[in-house]
Each structure stands twice: as structure tokens, then as C-alpha cells.
Amino acid sequence: MIAPESTLEIRPGPPLQVADIRTAIIRYELANPIQYGQWRITHREFALVRVDTVDGYSGFAYGLTRDGPISEVISRSVTPIYKGMIFESPADAFYRCKLTSHAVLSAGTGMRALSLVDMAAWDALARVRGQSITHLLGGEPTPRYATSIIGYPPGMSAQGIYDEVDGLHDAGWRRFKAPISPDLELTLSRMKSARDAAREGWLGFDFNYSMSDVTDVVDFAARLDDLNLGWIEDPYPPGDASAVAAIRSQVSMPVAVGDDQGGSYYPEALLSANAIDVLRVDITANGGVTGLAKVVAQASNAGIPISPHMFPHFHTRVLDGLGVADYPAEWGVPGAGVHPMDDELEQPVLSDGVMEPLAPGEGFGRVVNMGWVSRQSVFDPLEVLREIPKGVCV
């Protein structure tokens, strides 16, 4: 039986029995390192998780490690619980595993590890049943707005960001989001250029947790007042909902928070503090398919809209399956280093800012491009990448 806190219900069907769980690490080196406050990003590192069943099926999922020991947590704290388990719904396995180690699996790297295993288990179940993840969850693929993540690397000039947005606008994009730069004057000029190129389109701004003083956030947000921003995102480091609420009470634009967070008091702290206008969600950090369903329900009950953080090949399929009516999908510009594991997968087809549903397929569809993987630094002692089924590969 699915745990009471889950909101997932699927039709009865053949159960799934886990034979093994394996993880590979894929590392992409950034040509231009990214600096947000004290946070320096020199690479994008992904964990690719594979759940094999006793019947010979395999499910896959990937997510950012954020340099946490995802493989070690899975091998020590997750695989021993899942291996040999039989279940009709992966939600059962998720909650049974989570209850075995609150200290490790309730937040942070542990929650990321469990999230990826849950996603791969749902993918495996959908492939066992010959269904897409959207249909398995009871929904239908739906066209929806899409946001392009612009302005990477953050040191890109104001003219560079104008040219990028102008080209994207010509290609059908109508929503754009840019990150803060190391220099605030450059940031301001970049945002003004982005607004000019975006015309009347939606434009968001991401602080990327780079400021740790409420007054500094409020003062800089005031300098952006005339740009008609759709939101300011992640203006304060995670863990202080009252500080976010204080920012929200003093700025003119909506506040969106939650990027790849998750854990024991997410999103309850943000919702109870009345701190946000939009809840950012991330399937790879919020508990996979199982956890995301709960988070979506919590936001809906609070009357707060959601917006997913990247991973469009996973988020659009799951959120459509859950029947979420209104959310924008996020996409990085291929080659910019925003989310490189997505770059050579299926890309969106847009018309006036609206993307068509991604191609149908079993499970999450084709989420591994072996050509791209072969050009990266790969650590795969368990041979996750050996004999990947054709329906998983681009």
C-alpha cells in the first residue's frame, strides 16, 4: 500500500521486482567557470542511475550531483533496501526506504540519491507496462510555455545577451531568465539589454543565492524595478524562510524560491512563512516522481503556482502525468553549459512561446545520448552504460 502522505494513484498492474541498482558519474568541464558569491562552478557533474528488474527491464534517471557522493549513498543506504523488493507502485519502495535512515535520506545528497532511484524505478515500471510515464500517472501530454535560460556564462556582455535573446525571440521563444553576474553594474546592463531584446516577453532574474543580506537584495531589486520582471529567483541562501519573507514584503516583483532544494522542511517552511509567490520544484532533489507529487499537492493546497527547475525531459512528462495545468518548462541554450546533458537530447519545438509535447515513448523516453557521454569524463565501474536499451538512447 502507498504511504498515506503520497498523492499518487496508478492502475493495478504487474509488480516490479528490483534486481540491482547501479550508478555512473558523468562530468562535463565548463569552458568558462561560473562564480556566484562564494560558489564557484567549474564543471557540471551528473549521476546516471539504472534500476534493473528481475524480468530484464531497466529504468534510467539522471541528475546533478552538486559534487555530493551520490554513488556512495545509493550503494550504502538505498540499494540494500531496494534490492529484491517487489512492489506495484515505486511510491511504496520510496517510503519504505526513506524510513530506514532519516539522518541520511531526508535531505541534501541523500534525498538527491533517493530521488534518482525513485525516478529510475518509475521509468522501469512504465517500461514494464509498455507506457509513457505521463500515461502511467494518468495524464496526457500537453503544450505549454517554455523558458530559455539566457546569459551564460554570467560574464557575457550586455550586447552578447541582447543578440542571444534577439535570436531566441526570432526562433519563437517568449520567456527568458538570466542569472546575476559577478559585477552588479554588468548585471544591470545585461538585464536592460535582455528586456530590450525580449520586447514584451516574460523576463525573470535569478540571484542564485549569491547575496546573504536582506538589505542588499532589496536594494538591488529596486534597481530592476522598471524592467517589468516576472520574478526574482532564489534571492537568499536556503534555510531561512523568514529572510525570504522579509525580502518579499519589500520588493515590487514576485519572489520564486526552491531551486533544487528538498528535504525535511521543504516546502512547508516557505509556504507557512508566506515567503513566496512561486514555488520552484526539482524532481531530482524533491523525492523523484513520488516526492514531486506530494510537493505539487502542497503548493496547490496553498494556492501557490509551481515552476520546475530545468530537467524538461523529466519534468514535462511527470507534471503532465500529474495533471498540473499551468507551468513553464525550462531549457538551457545548447552549448552554453547551463545543463549540458540535455543539450543533445530532443529539443523543444516552439510557436509563439509555446512548446509542443516531447515525443512519446515508454517511460521517460530517450534520455541518454551516448555520443555526448563518450566525449565526457565518465566513471562507470558498475557498467551502467553497457547495453543500454534502444528505447533509452537518442
Paired strand residues for 387:
none
- Distance, in Å, from the CA atom of 383 to the CA atom of 379, rounded to the nearest integer, reads 9
* pLDDT single digits (tens) 185-238: 999 999 999 999 999 999 999 999 999 999 999 999 999 999 999 999 999 999
- What is the β-pairing status of strands 354-355 and 350-351? antiparallel
Per-residue confidence band for 3, with pLDDT thresholds at 50, 70 and 90: very low
What's residue 4's pLDDT?
Answer: 40
Indicate the average pLDDT of the chain: 95
What is the value of pTM for the model shown? 0.96
Contact 334, 315 (CB under 8 A): no
Question: Tell me, what amino acid is at 372?
Answer: W
* pLDDT single digits (tens) 330-382: 999 999 999 999 999 999 999 999 999 999 999 999 999 999 999 999 999 99
SS3 10: coil
Residue 261 confidence (pLDDT) above 90? no
* pLDDT single digits (tens) 24-68: 999 999 998 888 878 899 999 999 999 999 999 999 999 999 999
* pLDDT single digits (tens) 158-179: 999 999 999 999 999 999 999 9
What's residue 7's pLDDT?
Answer: 62
* Residues 6 or more apart in contact with residue 232 via CB below 8 angstroms: 204, 205, 206, 207, 217, 221, 224, 251, 253, 254, 255, 256
Paired strand residues for 149:
177, 332
The full set of domains in the chain, from first to last, is: 16-131+366-392 (3.30.390.10), 135-355 (3.20.20.120)
